[in-house]
Amino acid sequence: MIVSVINLTDGAVTDTDLLRSIRAVNRQLREDFEPYWSFGGELRLEGKTGRKRTFDAADMRGDAVLYLRTVCRIRDADGFHDAHYSGVPYGFVFLELAHALDEDWRVTLSHEALELVGDPEANLLVQGPHPRHPRRTVFHYFEMCDAVQSESYEIDGVPLSNFVLPLYFTASQERGGRNDFLGTKHARGQTLKSFGVNPGGYIGFFDPSLGRHGKDDDFEAEDDALARKRRRLKRRLGTGRGNLRRSRVLTRR
């Protein structure tokens, strides 16, 4: 999978810095991600096809397109659903949002690239336990980084997002199995549980018993202020794949 990257930051991020980050993400995809998932992708820097700063299908010279922008303008980011550019995978890295979340934009770039490779059209769901009511079955979003998105590591001095591994999407815990790449130990030496979250992360799901999205269709650890801040900012700005699923896909009749 080839992801075309378009720099629309007007110099806030130089192409030189972006190329350095793209090289690190490509190493992450090839050397860290693909050995576990058996699929991968590659980013390459492209130029904008026209003057408009919004999405243009012609910008996607590969299999998906990822825009780097300074300011959040969600009307320009109406992707990932059947009302706009059906079947065209694309996403955005907003510097404004990364700053508000106190997250390095390069980590966000890695996060969004992994999400595009994992679920290009943001339409995949995985059956698993309800995070608050384990005996109830719900459908979790197939997201690569949300559950561990406060964690990062470096390649060639570039910070990159942690990501989950295939065993994360299995209901039973496999002894000795790893559910995320870094395997960070948290309280009482515990690592990430299947369909769980690490501090700062959160997950989204669809509850078929409701037939629609409810107010409790996101989950983070109890008293996790950082995760709540992330969800609050993304909902207020209208960004994020979960918001677009909620407003455009699963609620569509």
What's the pLDDT band for 227 if we cut at 50, 70, 90?
A: low
What is the rounded average pLDDT of the residues 123-146?
90
Q: State both tokens at 39.
A: 């699929």
What is the rounded average pLDDT of the residues 156-171?
96
What is the rounded average pLDDT of the residues 114-137?
90
Looking at the predicted structure, is the pLDDT value of residue 224 above 80?
A: no
What is the rounded average pLDDT of the residues 149-161?
96
The pLDDT value recorded for residue 25 is 98
Strand 137-141 and strand 202-206: the pairing is antiparallel
What's the pLDDT band for 235 if we cut at 50, 70, 90?
A: low
Q: How far, in Å, CA of 88 to CA of 95, rounded?
A: 23
- The larger pLDDT score, comparing residue 54 to residue 208, is at 208
Residues 187/198, Cβ–Cβ less than 8 Å? no
pTM over 0.75: yes
- The larger pLDDT score, comparing residue 49 to residue 79, is at 49
Q: State both tokens at 123.
A: 């339409």
Looking at the predicted structure, is the pLDDT value of residue 45 above 90?
A: yes
The pLDDT value recorded for residue 240 is 57
Count other C-beta atoms under 10 Å from residue 45's C-beta.
14
- The label of the residue with tokens 């384990």 reads 134
Mean pLDDT, the chain, whole residue set: 82
Range of the domain at 141: 2-249
**Sign of the dihedral through C-alpha 2, 39, 37, 195:** positive
- The larger pLDDT score, comparing residue 35 to residue 174, is at 35
Residues 62/3, Cβ–Cβ less than 8 Å? yes
Looking at the predicted structure, is the pLDDT value of residue 116 above 90?
A: yes
Q: What is the pLDDT of residues 49-78, one digit of tens each?
A: 766 666 666 677 888 889 899 887 655 444
- The label of the residue with tokens 């955005």 reads 92
User: Structurally, how many domains does the chain consist of?
Assistant: 1
Q: What is the pLDDT of residues 176-188, one digit of tens each?
A: 789 999 999 987 7
The pLDDT value recorded for residue 158 is 98
What is the rounded average pLDDT of the residues 87-113?
89
Q: What is the 3-state secondary structure (H, E, C) of the chain?
A: CEEEEEEECCCCCCHHHHHHHHHHHHHHHHHHHHHHHCCCCEEEEECCCCCCCCCCHHHCCCCEEEEEECCCCHHHHCCCECCECCCCCEEEEEHHHHHHCCCCHHHHHHHHHHHHHHCCCCCCEEEEECCCCCCCEEEEECCCCHHHCCCEEEECCEEEECCECHHHHCCCCCCCCCCECCCCCCHHHCCCCCCCCCCCCEEEEECCCCCCCCCCCEEECCCCHHHHHHHHHHHHHCCCHHHHHHHHHCCCC
Residues 200/224, Cβ–Cβ less than 8 Å? yes
What is the rounded average pLDDT of the residues 197-219?
77
The pLDDT value recorded for residue 105 is 96
